[in-house]
Structure 1
Amino acid sequence: MSWTNLPFGGGIVTDLDTGLIYGIEDIEESPEMYKGNLDVPWKFTEFNPANKSFTNVEKRGRPYSMNWVSMVYSSAAKRIFGYEDGLHNDQATLWSYNTTSKDWTLVNVTGDIPPTRSLPCLVSAYSGKKLILAGGLGIKEPAAVLNDVYSFDVSTLAWTKLPNMPLAVWSQSCAVSGDSFIFMGGFTSPSIFDYDGENPVNNEGPAILNLTSNTWGTRYTPPGQTPSSADRTHLTLSKAGFAALAVISAAASSLITL
């Protein structure tokens, strides 16, 4: 077994049905990027782990060149959804990518549309029937760290506001397991370089939103299990705000990388 270095600095996602990996390759900056010019270099690439081959795929209708794109795959919709970072064009938008026709489509969303933001968390839930968007950095000056959470229904294309996170963070790690939306890590200050002597990293451990009851807590129970004295939760949190949560029980063990 060996590792393969993937040049996908602008965003990466795995097609859970085929195992193919899609990503936005790193590109060199140019003045045109700051003007929203869609003709500047922008590579959306398909990687096949089976034979380690890279294929540049069509970029029709794709998002703005300079922005990061938070991407998730929806098995329910058989599409990739990408939430475009609003850092450089002042308008964060939701896109979908058709892996068959090889093109991007701007999603015409309704409901409680999230305000524009940068570096949020985006994950899929319930086999891709819903997407969860949480936190991030507001793009207005002075920048504000956000704690709002939204659910997106891929069938109705509507956003719904959920209860706010107990802590405002950006660039956090997050995942969905069963009815639980889990986030850890991230930064609590708008800047990780210029802060008043305070550590901007969120070290408070996991926070968990029950997507059925819409209530926040701190205890995670794997689907199909009940908490017991045999359960142990181990948390490792790095300075960069990334984390891994391992839940180990007497009956079974599961590892969630957030």
Structure 2
Amino acid sequence: MHFSMSAAAIVVAAAFLTASVNGQPPSWIPPSWRPTSTHIQRPRPTADPTPTPGDAPPPRAFANFAFSEHQKLFISNGWFGWASNWKGIYNEFHSLDLSVPWTSDKPAWEKLAYRSTGEGETAGQFGISKDNMTLYFFDGKVHKYNVKTNTWDLNIDSVFTRPPKNISDDPALDLHKGKMYPHGDMRSFKADVATDPETGVMYGFGESIQVWDEVYRWRTSPYASIATFDPATNNYTRPYDNDAHRVKLSDIRSGVVNSLVLSAAAKKLYAFMWEMDDGESALFEYNILSMKWTQLNTTGDIPSPRAGLCFAPAYGGTKLILAGGRSSTAPDDDTNAALNDVYLYDVATSVWTKMASAPSPHHGGVCAVSGDSFIIWGGYSAYSNNNEVIVANEDGPAIFNMSSNTWGTTYTPTPVGARSPSFVSQ
């Protein structure tokens, strides 16, 4: 379940990168295809982060990640954006063991086998199978990782299903007879991928829809749809012909990324939209059965507008936990735009509750839930919206007990007999 965040989307996400050169998209990639979200803003150089010993991953922001509750948190790739050489991290794959006890200063990291396609390294998104034994990596193609054997099966055979070209009923998109086309046959997701623990189907925002413009020819529209991948059939589907599948980004700030999770209890997807106007609800609900989006009227301690947050389901999807990010309303010269506040959302009542703040901010961190524990790591601990101040969060994983509303440095796994059904996230 959660994303299978990162992080943690809709229009132009850092998850969609094609083959890179020195960590940057090649010059031949059209500008409309290039990532433009806050994932990859180029900060001015500050200090290099401290190297990490052994199997611990080096500090990074906006890594791809997935977790299986009570078992492992997986991370790969990410952005090394505060050093003297701005670059992507494409050659590392790690896991954090959630089945054994550890402390923040000695976390149970393990370095894993990294995929190597021979075609240039790429960024993408993880999905995780309902039995938590297989990771799927989507970078335009589909790759499989066997958790038990620590091996990759690259570029597996998969089926791309695309409904017929459609005529939109939206006058705003009535360009070249309203025809809207998808972004090729890339098997990719914009950001977070959420797995249904019952069916195993993976959900995420597909590529933005391309429309015909007489001036600009094909261009990115303000629409994206929920795409799916079914591991049982290796079928990737992007349903562009159904308005119910689409989110109109012009209503929620075109060009941003959104965090997506799945609640097993409600059997619905929840998207927290980045950079909404202050006072406007940023939480949207997607009914998987009816394929309808609803902007929710939430109450309680509503989180302020933000980007780069961590969002995950907890307690079988009866709760959703949101942490960190950066303020999207802070002045450009505010060096405290990175956030450390934490909120718990009750799915049944639509009420947000502010919890104890994290020891330090995490903008673009990775996170996992296991029993009562919420774990967050990495990202930026200081960030200004004008990129003048960028500071890596070099702390070990921070551990939050959602039941007692306290932060600590010791992780204790949930006893086997007390475990709820596992869910996953990215």
Residue 169 of structure 1, aligned match among 362, 366, 378: 362
CA change 1:84–1:158 in 2 (3 A) is: same
State the shift of 1:194 in Å. Answer: 4.4
State the shift of 1:47 in Å. Answer: 1.2
Give the aligned partner of residue 146 of structure 1. 339
Give the aligned partner of residue 217 of structure 1. 408
- State how 1:17-32 maps to structure 2 within 5 Å: 17-27=198-208
Asked if structure 2 preserves the Cα contact closer than 8 Å seen for 1:63 and 1:84, the reply is no
SS in 2 for 1:127: helix
Q: What amino acid is aligned across from residue 24 of structure 1 in structure 2?
A: F
- State how 1:36-115 maps to structure 2 within 5 Å: 40-57=222-239, 58-60=242-244, 62=247, 64=249, 65-86=254-275, 93-115=282-304
Aligned equivalents of 1:29, 1:202: Cα separation in 2: 37
State the shift of 1:86 in Å. Answer: 1.1
Asked if structure 2 preserves the Cα contact closer than 8 Å seen for 1:147 and 1:165, the reply is yes
Question: Which has the larger share of strand?
Answer: 1
TM-score normalised by L of structure 2: 0.47
Aligned equivalents of 1:167, 1:29: Cα separation in 2: 40
Aligned equivalents of 1:6, 1:98: Cα separation in 2: 23
What is the CA RMSD across the aligned residues, in angstroms?
3.0
Give CA deviations for 1:203-253 in whole Å, capped at 9, x if unaligned: 21011111111111011011118xxxxxxxxxxxxxxxxxxxxxxxxxxxx
Asked if structure 1 preserves the Cα contact closer than 8 Å seen for 2:263 and 2:318, the reply is yes
Q: What amino acid is aligned across from residue 20 of structure 1 in structure 2?
A: V
Q: Which stretch has the larger CA shift, 4-13 or 129-138?
A: 4-13
CA change 1:29–1:133 in 2 (3 A) is: farther
CA change 1:80–1:3 in 2 (3 A) is: farther
Q: What amino acid is aligned across from residue 207 of structure 2 in structure 1?
A: D
Aligned equivalents of 1:216, 1:29: Cα separation in 2: 45
SS in 2 for 1:62: strand
TM-score normalised by L of structure 1: 0.75
CA change 1:208–1:110 in 2 (3 A) is: same
Aligned equivalents of 2:307, 2:379: Cα separation in 1: 13
CA change 1:6–1:75 in 2 (3 A) is: same
State the shift of 1:170 in Å. Answer: 0.8
Asked if structure 1 preserves the Cα contact closer than 8 Å seen for 2:367 and 2:374, the reply is yes
Give the aligned partner of residue 318 of structure 2. 129
Asked if structure 2 preserves the Cα contact closer than 8 Å seen for 1:80 and 1:98, the reply is yes
Q: Which stretch has the larger CA shift, 127-136 or 204-213?
A: 204-213
**How many residue pairs align between the two structures?**
219
State the shift of 1:92 in Å. Answer: 6.1
SS in 1 for 2:339: strand
Asked if structure 2 preserves the Cα contact closer than 8 Å seen for 1:85 and 1:92, the reply is no
| Contiguous gaps of at least 5 residues in structure 2 | 1-143, 145-152, 156-185, 214-219, 417-423
CA change 1:148–1:79 in 2 (3 A) is: same
State the shift of 1:195 in Å. Answer: 4.8
Q: Which has the higher contact order (CA 8 A, sep 6+)?
A: 2
Asked if structure 2 preserves the Cα contact closer than 8 Å seen for 1:171 and 1:186, the reply is yes
State the shift of 1:27 in Å. Answer: 3.1
State the shift of 1:26 in Å. Answer: 3.2
